[in-house]
Amino acid sequence: MKKARIVNLILSILICFILTGCGSLLEDEQMDRQVERLIAALNEDDGDKIFQSLYPGVVTREQFDESYEGIRKIWEKSDSHTKKLNSINTQKNYNNSGNSIVCETQYFVYTEDKSYTINLTYLSDDNGEGVYGFYLKPGAEPMLVSGDFTTARENSVLQWGVLILGILSYFFIIFTVVDILRKRPRLFGLWLIAALTFFSFYIKNMPGNFFIGAGINWFVMSGLKGYNNDGWILFLAIPVGAVVYWCLRRKLLARKNQDLV
């Protein structure tokens, strides 16, 4: 029974580690296709193609033409771009009047010298399906170009070193948790919580924005991430709770033995 609890706890830590490292991976093929079509139509200055992709009756042709002119002034034609899905929310509604599915997404789109934010709403119900809302504005969050598991080919030796340090930290925590469960020192429940605690050091260096901070966190991953605006973010997470435990381990076990005598 004790081994089963240990295995379950280790699996939970590993799951949190995986989610920490891969939590930014969002995917929706249908919405990706819609955004690709809209971007292609904007690059080709093809307002008819965009209008045909709209939900039936959402706007009149005259209303669309007026808003499309404003969109064209914001968007500058570009043959190449990179898109990143930032957030997605899908709602399924079932009622007496019919069934409907509403999908809301936000994309960051990067061209060679510009960036944009696209908010897209897609509606599908008994009356049809299509783009229900399309909002475009200049500017977007900087795009990650290196320093993550998803950018393995672009990572430098230093960035890989920081990532490996983060991985080793989790192995160290797992080893510590197993030892705490086996030895059961005084207040071992509190030591289990302490073993999962990180002391984090944070440096953000972006154009016009420099910040240094520190704090206490749980389930975080060290990283040195580079962005397409020549900015970078350094996040170092030290498993301070596990380190303190090993520094005090002998004393804790000695006190436990004294209590048993």
Q: Give this prediction's pTM.
A: 0.65
118, 107 Cβ separation under 8 angstroms? yes
Q: Span 29-142: which CATH code?
A: 3.10.450.50
Which pLDDT value is given to residue 24? 42
* pLDDT interval class at 198 (50, 70, 90): very high
The per-residue pLDDT for range 229-260, each reduced to its tens digit, is 889 999 999 999 999 999 988 887 777 766 65
Whether residue 97 is predicted with pLDDT greater than 70 in this model: the reply is: no
At residue 250, φ and ψ (nearest 5 deg) are: -60, -45
The per-residue pLDDT for range 157-197, each reduced to its tens digit, is 999 999 999 999 989 998 998 888 888 887 778 888 888 89
In the chain the beta strands, taken as DSSP E runs, fall at: 82-95, 98-110, 115-125, 128-138, 144-146, 197-206, 209-218, 223-227, 232-238
Q: Any idea where the domains of the chain sit in the sequence?
A: 2-23+148-260, 29-142
